[in-house]
Structure 1
Amino acid sequence: MPQATWNPAQYLSVMSWAMFSTTTTSILLALIFFPLTNLGAYLAGWPIGLSITVNVILFIAASLARRDQYVCVSLTAEGIRYTDESESYRRNERLRASDIKKIRVRRNPFFKSLTIDMKEDNQRFFLSNVSLTENFLTEANTLINQAAGNAPQTGLQKA
């Protein structure tokens, strides 16, 4: 059964870049406030500002990459099952294929995000930092089109 799950490897990659950026920013700040050499005059301007900005951006990206850690999206014969197993937000939704408007994957500089748009109430389901099986989007779009009467039957069987 095709699935879309949270991608731990990509999260670790973004987090490692954030840690590297923190180390670099800390070294620059140490050179400014505890001058062993006379580099403080060269580092006090835009280099430290750029380093802090990059650090903030990377930590925001890392927190967004971790947000949907317990979410899983699976294709079923009737549609899509959206499961969130986080402790404070237990959720198990069955989305009928006929109620789904579209499903898409967007790429940002750090990771991919899956978005499921519903036809009614402008409701959306998200999975940030997604790892997809090879045929997930193809089968999902075929399932949605099949429910709308636009495509032939696929290989998905009722369980």
Structure 2
Amino acid sequence: MSQATWNPAQYLSVMSWAMFSTTITSILLALIFFPFTNLGAYLVGWPLGLSITVNVILFIASSLARRDQYVSVSLTAEGIRYTDESESYRRNELLRASDIKNIRVRRNPFFKSLTIDMKGNNQRFFLSNVSLTDTFLAEAGALISGGPSNAPQTDPS
């Protein structure tokens, strides 16, 4: 069956943009406070404010992209296996297909996030910065809607 895991390549991409933004902000700050140039009047307004804002946004996105580093979601015959192997929060749960309301993937400007909504208790399971196979959502939808008998079958020949 298919599996959804944390995407390290996308995390490194967001983190590299955050580091690049930090470099630009540092250069702007250095030019403002460098005593031999008169660039402070030109850089103190919107260029510095924009640079700091972009820097903050990118670091928040990179921390969110790293949040679920040890989480994986696997499709099984009984439902969906949600595993979190982080040091302080060990969790291994089987989410039965009959208890799952829906499963969806949301795309933000930086990465995709997987959300699993449960029926009874309005509980949600998340996986930020997810890497999915092409058939994961189709297989999960088939599993939720009708169980393993409605899942796509492979030709044995």
TM-score, length basis structure 1: 0.93
Distance (whole Å) between structure 2 residues aligned to residue 138 and residue 152 of structure 1: 11
Aligned-pair RMSD on alpha carbons?
1.3
Aligned to 1:155: 153
Aligned residues: 153
Question: What amino acid sits opposite 2:58 in the alignment?
Answer: L
Q: Which residue of 2 aligns with 1:2?
A: 2
* Unaligned stretches of 5+ residues in structure 2: none
The alignment status of 1:80 with 2:42, answered yes or no, reads no
Q: In the aligned structure 2, how far is the partner of 1:38 from the partner of 1:90?
A: 55
Match of 2:94 in 1: 94
Superposition pairs of residues 57-76 of structure 1, within 5 angstroms: 57-76=57-76
| Structure 1 pair 153–112 and aligned structure 2 pair: CA distance change class (3 A) | closer
**In structure 1, C-alpha distance between the alignment counterparts of 2:26 and 2:151, rounded to whole Å:** 58
Name the aligned partner's letter for residue 22 of structure 1.
Answer: T
- 1:55 alignment counterpart: 55
Seen in structure 2, the aligned counterparts of structure 1 residues 39 and 81 have a Cα distance that, compared at 3 Å, is same
Q: Deviations over 1:44-75 (max 9, x none)?
A: 11110110000000000000000000000000
Q: Distance in 1 between matches of 2:81 and 2:137?
A: 14
Q: Tell whether the 8 Å contact from 2:143 to 2:150 is kept in structure 1 after alignment.
A: no
Q: What is the CA-CA distance between 1:153 and the residue it aligns to?
A: 4.7
Distance 2:112 2:153 in 1: 26
For residues 126-145 of structure 1, what are the structure 2 equivalents within 5 Å? 126-145=126-145
TM-fit CA distance, 1:155: 3.4
Other-structure match for 1:107 = 107
What secondary structure is seen at the aligned counterpart in 1 of 2:104? Answer: strand
Shift of 1:38: 1.5
1:91 Cα offset (Å)? 0.1
